[in-house]
Structure 1
């Protein structure tokens, strides 16, 4: 504007008006931005909130109540000595821990031995299942050999038949083995562990196989270039990369074997060798003396260890169950 001639007032007025017009929009933008920066948003109506997210909260609350009510009911029954499951309708109407003390004082009912047996059988079976399943899955995933496809198909087809179909065959087999090797026959914890390992090997191998396929084979090739063999690759590299599925298989195996009843009741005869699932049934098997409160107390104590393991390994569960499903 300083370069304009004094004799040109019209041009000066025109430039002033253009400058004013250029400033006004920028000022309005600053004001608008300042208004938006306050973080205030229009409040959603209840109808819109319920349609978008509210119904999900209701479903979550309903599922939580459905899952927690049986646990609270059993815990309430364990605090009602001398009662039955029907008289435990009033939740926590009676608070008495004498049933928990009676667990370890009843004659011919060694709850402590049952708990130790369940712990030993569950942990050994879980460790064996993880090791054998991982070895088989690695072989199917990384090696190419005759009968590989047929073996995978067989593992899948065998799972279609329930284990109960082999109950008679397993019993006769255990009797025959017990005549030669008593440590592996009937009334043997080692024999029960062997039966569990054989029954769970197929499904766990197929589950691990899908997870092993998600590990790039280039890792194996790089290790082989450095001179590593299959054993070194498996134990030092692959097992660390597939830790989620190992934790999931071990957890599911422990929970399944610790709560299994039919096979354990057929193979384990001596009360000192029985598991919790079979031993607790003795409290309610008599028609005239059903100790439902003691039974509930034993069930509550038996659930502590699986719940603790589940909470400790929960970060592996989702990844371990879903990572192999895309292959």
Structure 2
């Protein structure tokens, strides 16, 4: 058996170039092209952050200038507190991601394990509502938060808690449907065995189901965090004080005024802001493929 496998491997090594190119080689070329297409913008932004010129014209020559002055100046602007923006984004993003995971998991568990009137209609409604982005309801959200702020200022306009609640309000649809397919892959016999032992829905959910569906929880948390970090419109409308704004809103100040555009500092801030999603992606990457694919079998 080993001799046959060795002979087969030797034949593969002696494949003609045309056959190798038709079967395998073109895939390597496509892979290299995708890598170059994906990495070049990152290299360009990093090069622009090291260019003290402040304009994109002087940054066209990659790494022609090398200086960390933009990173130093980024934290030395009292009117543009980058450190506060970073911490605000971290707090809002992690809180919104955790809330999205919890609410989505609770809803998915209810739709997957319980049978009640309007179950199918409710699940379809959650998905259909997500067809309309929150941007279409921006005026209604602003007026709603304005009214809430008059009664409860802590969750009204210019409140990070209020912004988190707005994010959570639009996080149920797709997350619930994504988790619903994954929850259906967990055998119901596990729930029945736990009920025989006297466990209720809460104990089954927190101690049995959640550990089994951890891949989809990681995927939803990562997607929610990335979406929160890159969200600009709602955060720019609801957050007024510079000390409470997020990175997406704060970084825009470096390039919003035509007479004081500084692309080097903007690029430096963007590079540092990318640390959060990249670090989480590296930590959670082993869950991403299984979390996205496993729920599609139902």
TM-score after normalising by structure 1: 0.87
Does residue 84 (structure 1) correspond to residue 51 (structure 2)? The answer is no
How far apart are the structure 2 equivalents of 1:40 and 1:147? 62
Check the 8 A contact 2:54/2:265 in 1, yes or no: no
The structural deviation recorded for 1:39 is 6.6
Match runs of 1:1-327 below 5 Å? 40-41=10-11, 43-327=14-298
Aligned residues: 294
CA RMSD of aligned residues (A): 1.4
Q: Between 39-48 and 166-175, report the one with greater CA deviation.
A: 39-48
Gaps of 5+ in 1: 1-32
Q: Between 116-125 and 85-94, report the one with greater CA deviation.
A: 85-94
How far apart are the structure 2 equivalents of 1:68 and 1:291? 23
Moved over 3 A (4+): 36-42
How far apart are the structure 2 equivalents of 1:81 and 1:168? 40
The structural deviation recorded for 1:157 is 1.0
Give secondary structure in 1 for the equivalent of 2:171. helix
The Cα offsets for residues 262-305 of structure 1, whole Å up to 9 and x where unpaired, read as 00000000000000000000011111010100000000000011
The Cα offsets for residues 147-204 of structure 1, whole Å up to 9 and x where unpaired, read as 1111011111111112211100000000000000000000000000000001111111
Higher Cα Rg, which structure: 1
Gaps of 5+ in 2: none
Check the 8 A contact 2:54/2:261 in 1, yes or no: no
1:37–1:67 distance in 2 versus 1, CA, 3 Å: closer
Give secondary structure in 1 for the equivalent of 2:258. coil
TM-score after normalising by structure 2: 0.96
